Amino acid sequence: MKKGKGTNAVHAGVKHDPSTGAIMTPVYLTSTYAQEGVGNHKGYEYSRTLNPTRHALENAFAELEGAKYGLAFASGLASMDTLLKVLNPGDEVISTDDLYGGSYRLFTTVFANYGIIFKFVDFSDENAITEAINENTRMIWIETPTNPMMKITDIASVSALVDGRNILVCVDNTFATPMLQQPLSLGADVVMHSATKYLGGHSDVVMGCLMLNDDTLDEKLRTLQNSCGAIAGPMDSFLVIRGIKTLHLRMARHCENGQAIVEYLSGHEKVEKVFWPGLKDHPGHDVACKQMSGFGGMVAFTIKGDNLKTAHKFVEATELFTLAESLGGVESLIGHPASMTHASIPKEIREKVGVTDGLIRLSLGVEDAEDIITDLEKAFQAIS
């Protein structure tokens, strides 16, 4: 039966427990499994290889993205680490210049030492991507919308650009979630999420996942997952299964709050610029309308004057917003990318993409929009 996205979120991957009828997937806190005879078991041998709770979640991950396969890892970066290990020394990766700080660090300080070559280009410029491709290119790493500038990459056109060339198109879909954007249906080969964020949704777990359709690549990834061992644990898997059940409801509210807060900020005398793909003057707006079904609850803006002191004062003056790294939970978080999430990116590079000292990032939660606005207004008053 073909189901809607909401129905899918509630039921994805979950079967009633055959031994008790429990409707929630049990947390299988076990490292190993009894074998009736040598090699005669029920599909589980050792929990690094597979655990029933993680198995249910991996199926849920696949269903959410409309994928054949899903794999769960100890963190978003662990999932990327495993995926990058399908590459060999000399292989090249092309990535967007406005990238999550931890991804940039993994590329440039870890995998660069193993002979993988990384090139960072502006993904809104298709010519720049074409120019960066050569016979060694094996992977294109897309993040859309980007963190924190909300830049949009056209997934379908990049996928079409490299079609038939032995280049994996991978999309970090953390910000949009499968409720708003499904990269595999747009031609991408692999979807990655930091499930720490919206999929988990309650700021209580760190996890990552990969979703894909290719049989050979799935086999390679499962071998790497088992060989390197950065797996998601059973308790964490349970929490994310529970989180996913309300993903559609939460995303609808995140989008509503995004719209309301962007309208408030856009009309504010102390705000210089607002970055949100739902804005008509956003450079990626047309592509966002084409590939996304909503614009989400991540919003960035610059305060007039653009200085570090004012920005720090602002993020420290909020009460409802918690000053914290991370995003995607039910509660609103505020952050200063230049000194928090993006501190590991050199100043010249981050400023070139727009992460200036005056930039503030909001992860809007699912609270009442009026209360969020009241809190922001109080912070504006504190800096005047």
Ligand X SMILES: *Cc1c(COP(=O)(O)O)cnc(C)c1O
Residue whose CB is less far from ligand X, 149 or 265: 149
CB of 205 to ligand X, least distance (A): 9
- How far is C-alpha 164 from the geometric centre of its chain's CA atoms? 26
For β-strands 137-143 and 92-96, DSSP reports them as: parallel
CB of 121 to ligand X, least distance (A): 18
Exactly one of 54, 151, 197, 253 is catalytic; name it: 197
Exactly one of 100, 104, 218, 357 is catalytic; name it: 100
CB of 188 to ligand X, least distance (A): 15
CB of 79 to ligand X, least distance (A): 8
Residue whose CB is less far from ligand X, 105 or 273: 105
**CA–CA distance, 258 with 245 (Å, rounded to integer):** 21
CB of 78 to ligand X, least distance (A): 7
Exactly one of 17, 33, 48, 91 is catalytic; name it: 48
CB of 324 to ligand X, least distance (A): 12
Q: Is 100 considered catalytic here? A: yes
Residue whose CB is less far from ligand X, 159 or 177: 177
Exactly one of 81, 154, 172, 189 is catalytic; name it: 172
Q: Is 197 considered catalytic here? A: yes
**CA–CA distance, 118 with 111 (Å, rounded to integer):** 9
CB of 92 to ligand X, least distance (A): 21
Residue whose CB is less far from ligand X, 361 or 379: 361
Residue whose CB is less far from ligand X, 79 or 318: 79
Q: Please give the residue whose beta carbon sits closest to ligand X in the complex.
A: 76
User: Which residues in this chain contact ligand X in the complex, by CB under 6 A?
Assistant: 75-77, 100, 102-103, 143, 147, 172, 174-175, 194, 196-197, 206, 208
Q: Is 172 considered catalytic here? A: yes
Residue whose CB is less far from ligand X, 100 or 314: 100
User: Which residues have CB under 8 Å from 223's CB, separation 6+?
Assistant: none
Residue whose CB is less far from ligand X, 55 or 197: 197
Edge to edge, the sheet with strand 322-323 lists 271-275, 298-303, 359-363, 333-335, 322-323
3-state secondary structure the chain: CCCCHHHHHHHCCCCCCCCCCCCCCCCCCCCECCCCECCECCCCCECCCCCHHHHHHHHHHHHHCCCCEEEEECCHHHHHHHHHCCCCCCCEEEEECCCCHHHHHHHHHHHHHHCCEEEEECCCCHHHHHHHCCCCEEEEEEECCCCCCCCCCCHHHHHHHCCCCCCEEEEECCCCHHHHCCHHHHCCCEEEEECCCCCCCCCCCCCEEEEECCHHHHHHHHHHHHHHCCECCHHHHHHHHHHHCCHHHHHHHHHHHHHHHHHHHHCCCCEEEEECCCCCCCCCHHHHHHHCCCCCCEEEEEECCCCHHHHHHHHHHCCCCEECCCCCCCCCEEECCCCCCCCCCCHHHHHHHCCCCCEEEEECCCCCHHHHHHHHHHHHHHHC
Q: Active-site residues: which are they?
A: 48, 100, 172, 197
